[in-house]
Amino acid sequence: MQREVQNVSVPRYLTAQQFGRTMKLSLWAWLLRALPGYLALEVGPFLIIGLGLKKTVGELLGPYLAFAAPAVILMPLVWWLRVWEKQGISPKRLARAWGVSVALWGVSVVVATIYSGVKFGFMDPMDALGGLIVSVLLSVPILYFMAYYMAIATVSSRAAANGGGGRPK
């Protein structure tokens, strides 16, 4: 008996939409799955910094955790925003949520950078405070409106592609 093999083209990689349909994980399962890999990838730059600046692990721990926090903040926010988008929330409300989320992420990156600069002795603490205030005052509106307009365009175009009504697919 000979088996006939069909010449079927199977894609090597799943598209994002296919991946989203196969991954039905809760937020906490998703975080427990993604977070260790992210934290492991972030160790490399801090080991290089530690060798270059001759810092101990204890001295690197605070800046490492400060730089790890923005992604830990953004991961659950993105998950919730994707869930809200699937539920059919209004495009303006979703765009506002994206704007606030990206602005919060930007502030946490600024705080991590300035904290690390002070901790490593690159900045004077008083200069860092002034830089923090200016950076936050400039970055929050820029990041908010950038994310808002990008999200409103994306969500609106998806809604138009789905016939102008109902939940996005």
> pLDDT, tens digit, for every residue of 39-87?
888 888 888 888 888 888 888 888 888 988 888 888 888 888 888 888 8
Q: Which pLDDT belongs to residue 135?
A: 93
User: What is this structure's pTM?
Assistant: 0.71
The contacts of residue 94 (CB under 8 Å, 6+ apart) are: 81, 84, 85, 151, 155
Residue 22 above 50 pLDDT? no
Please report which confidence band the pLDDT of residue 140 belongs to, taking 50, 70 and 90 as the band edges.
very high
Q: Which pLDDT belongs to residue 137?
A: 94
Q: Which pLDDT belongs to residue 146?
A: 95
Please report which confidence band the pLDDT of residue 111 belongs to, taking 50, 70 and 90 as the band edges.
very high
Q: Which pLDDT belongs to residue 8?
A: 46
Q: Which pLDDT belongs to residue 12?
A: 47
Burial of 21-60, coded b for 16+ CB within 10 Å and e otherwise, reads eeeeeeeeeebeeeeeeeeeeeeeebeeebeeeebeeeeb
Residue 3 above 90 pLDDT? no
Q: Which pLDDT belongs to residue 10?
A: 45
Q: Which pLDDT belongs to residue 95?
A: 93
Residue 169 above 60 pLDDT? no
